[in-house]
């Protein structure tokens, strides 16, 4: 179980263009690493658009925004283009980072239990240390809450 003060688990995943992106690529910057269930769903779209709307404010605080889901790079490319998302979306179909960060969890919907990505945001400092873990975030307020913490 990850806790604040721990070194953030390293990963290398493909972005929307198929380029490999690693957590260590952001050394010297704060990283807002948010895990979300699926591209183009109502909550995930609102959350992504809120981060996009605040992108300049995050940049001013030397913070990179990185979204991660199981969706393919092609799905991310369409999602980012459709909503003009200015930040990186990473594809994790093999659950490499999703499991490393402990966000692959049992979920209940309409009485059915299944495994899925729990909407969770991590704030990682310039040295790669987790400073905040925000479980079960609300899509509409997550970006503002993170910005307030930075």
Q: Where are the domains of the chain?
A: 12-149
User: Could you tell me how far CA 100 lies from the centroid of its own chain?
Assistant: 13
Question: What is the bridge-based pairing of β-strands 12-15 and 20-22?
Answer: antiparallel
Of 16, 33, 44, 146, the active-site residue reads 44
pLDDT at 94: 97
| pLDDT of amino acid 110 | 85
Could you tell me the pTM of the whole model?
A: 0.95
What's the pLDDT at 107? 86
pLDDT at 33: 98
Q: Which residues of 16-39 are buried (b: 16+ CB within 10 A; e: fewer)?
A: beeeebebeebeeebbbbbbbbeb
**Annotated catalytic, 49?**
no
- Per the CB < 8 A criterion, the answer to whether 36 and 96 are in contact is no
Distance, in Å, from the CA atom of 13 to the CA atom of 34, rounded to the nearest integer, reads: 14
Exposed / middle / buried, residue 127 (Cβ in 10 Å: 0-12, 13-18, 19+): exposed
pLDDT of residue 111: 86
- CATH placement of domain 12-149: 3.40.30.10
Q: Which residue positions in the chain have pLDDT lower than 50? A: none
């Amino acid at each position: 179980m990850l806790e604040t003060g721990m070194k953030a688990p390293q990963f290398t995943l493909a972005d929307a263009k198929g380029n490999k992106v690693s957590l260590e690529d952001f050394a010297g910057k704060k990283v807002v690493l948010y895990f979300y269930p699926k591209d183009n769903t109502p909550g995930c779209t609102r959350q992504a658009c809120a981060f996009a709307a605040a992108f300049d404010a995050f940049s001013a605080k030397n913070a990179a925004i990185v979204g991660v889901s199981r969706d393919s790079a092609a799905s991310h490319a369409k999602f980012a283009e459709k909503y003009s998302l200015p930040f990186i979306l990473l594809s994790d179909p093999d659950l490499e980072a999703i499991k490393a960060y402990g966000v692959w969890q049992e979920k209940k919907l309409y009485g059915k239990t299944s495994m899925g990505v729990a909407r969770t945001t991590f704030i990682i400092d310039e040295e790669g240390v987790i400073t905040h873990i925000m479980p079960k975030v609300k899509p509409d307020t997550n970006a503002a809450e993170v910005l307030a913490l930075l």
